[in-house]
Amino acid sequence: MVAKLYYKNKLILKLIKPFENKRLFTSLMLNILTLKDYNYWPKNLIALDAFCQTGLQWTRLFANEANYLEMWDINEQAIKYAKKEFPNANINCGDSINAIINNKLHRSDFNFVLIDLPVPFRYSNTEFEHFVFFDKIFNNVAANFILILNVVTNVNVMLNVHPKPKEYVDAWVNARKLFYNSDDGYIINPQKMKSSYEEKLLAIGITPKLILYNARNQNLGIVTIVGSKSI
């Protein structure tokens, strides 16, 4: 499966290269350009892609700007291809969630962190999305940082694409209610998400400078957080 996706992406990139121009953006590139316009993009980029897969989808968009790039994925085959594509990166095959929670990353001063989890996602059969390790991310970042997260605004739309058993859905919806402090775990609009992240950041001593939401596709969105840690 990984090999098929890898060679498919390589072929697509090869085919579109002659036609690529500044009008052809991915959602991540749009966010990066927005951050640059706000003058928040780090001049000395220390980057972590915690769920990199082969790196051909998103890592490639910022890899060339990184003075240090750390990549993690739990899939051995994906990591094999990532090492081929990013020979200068510190690439790790392992559980990045465990590494984040237990401070086992190779650095603790990342100023750009990408959390592109596969969604719907369940960790250790009890936790969903990035909820269990959200607070721990900030033990691994610099005083000023950017964090980009994959999010789901509407569970119903996601379930149309990725159906799950009722028990799974109920547990996921309840986890979303708790994390976002919402009465409705099925639909959490971007404004509610932004306010929830702001509250969580302030509660742990993080000053949010900018919180953005952009749609990625009909199923997923991206939350971009620019913050600073109290010293």
Give a yes or no: residue 17 inside a domain. no
Q: How many whole angstroms separate alpha carbon 130 and alpha carbon 111?
A: 18
Domain that holds residue 157: 25-229
What CA dihedral angle connects 188, 74, 132 and 226, to 10 degrees?
-60
pLDDT of 125 reads: 76
Give a yes or no: residue 171 inside a domain. yes
Give the pLDDT mean for 140-158: 95
- Do the Cβ atoms of 182 and 176 come closer than 8 Å? yes
Residue type, 154: N
- As a whole number, the mean pLDDT across the chain is 92
Residue type, 44: N
Give the pLDDT mean for 202-209: 96
Q: CATH no. for residue 127?
A: 3.40.50.150
Give a yes or no: residue 153 inside a domain. yes
Give a yes or no: residue 15 inside a domain. no
pLDDT tens profile 16-26: 776 665 445 68
Q: Helical H runs in the chain? A: 2-16, 27-37, 76-85, 96-101, 155-161, 166-180, 190-203
Lowest mean pLDDT among 8-12, 99-103, 192-196: 8-12
Give a yes or no: residue 7 inside a domain. no
Cα–Cα distances (Å) from 100 to 5, 21, 23, 79, 141, in that order, read 27, 36, 35, 18, 10
Instruction: Give how many domains the chain has, as a whole number.
Output: 1
Phi, psi of 142 (to 5 degrees): -75, 175
Give a yes or no: residue 9 inside a domain. no
Using left for φ > 0, alpha for ψ between -120 and 50, and beta otherwise, residue 125 falls in: left
Give a yes or no: residue 89 inside a domain. yes
pLDDT of 21 reads: 53
Contacts of 118 (CB under 8 A, 6+ apart): 51
pLDDT of 123 reads: 85
Which of helix, strand or coil describes residue 76?
helix
Give the pLDDT mean for 146-150: 97
Give the pLDDT mean for 79-92: 97
Lowest mean pLDDT among 70-74, 117-121, 132-136, 182-186: 117-121
55: pLDDT strictly greater than 50: yes
Give the pLDDT mean for 164-187: 94
154: pLDDT strictly greater than 60: yes
pLDDT band for position 58 (50/70/90)?
very high
Give a yes or no: residue 12 inside a domain. no
User: What single DSSP character describes residue 223?
Assistant: E
